[in-house]
Structure 1
Amino acid sequence: MNGLLGNFDSAKFIFIACDEESWVPTPKEIKTFFPNSLCNIYKAWGHFKDNFKDIENLFHIRRSGIQIHGCWNNHGRIISHAIRVENTCSRNSFFDLKYGDFIVDSLQIGNDSLSKLDLFLQGAAKMNSAINSVCE
């Protein structure tokens, strides 16, 4: 998990959903909107796909809750890319105006929160499995 956050304890992420790769902001554009900030762009299906799958599951749960008789992690993809910026970066209204249709959410994520999310999702999966076995 440390690789996702770089050498920091936490980082801000802007999660976007974009079907067309050419519509994703380039590193040069991101530097324009967030000057003096280190930034990285990650594909959700890339090197950190397990982290992004957990975050997508969080978004599904926030939207529709945990479905008792079924698995919430079988839904379609929500996130296509994630942009990591430094903690000191503030929201940029011009970035929001240009890419607002693609922004899913912005979160500050730390190693501790990723670990807690993983434990929560494991517990929820066990609960769903137990409920399904009782209902069968």
Structure 2
Amino acid sequence: MVAFEPQSQPEPQGPACQNVRGWERLLSLGGGVLLAILGASKQGEQGRRQLGVGGLLLMRGLSGHCSVKSAMDDPLAEIRYLRARVQRLQELVLMAEEVADRTRSAPVPPVPVAPVDIVTPIADELASREQSR
């Protein structure tokens, strides 16, 4: 009868959001920053690789989620998690496309032009300014 019975709750999809905690997370952040700095200072293929790996470690440390670790623990749960993320990204892309279509198809309102009084000669205006002093 109660709407919040445990049976009415959907099962959580995918693994917990954070599977990297504590020292492991701090080491990922520190190593990511170090590799990103080293990779950015180098040119060539090795620098790009270091920058890429550093970026991945930074993402792992910032999000607290490691897909490799999760896939080793429970591969099916990781697949469900990734599928849910892909679906959410698809929804966001569709929303962005709708907004872009609306802004492209919306007519641009005309800009009102203020009327210009060119009938009054400049001499008359100067004379009225002199009288007001």
Query: TM-score interval w.r.t. the shorter chain?
Result: under 0.3
**Higher gyration radius (CA):** 2
TM-score by length of 1: 0.25
TM-score by length of 2: 0.25
Structure (1 or 2) with the greater helix fraction: 2
Structure (1 or 2) with the greater strand fraction: 1
Q: Which has the higher contact order (CA 8 A, sep 6+)?
A: 1
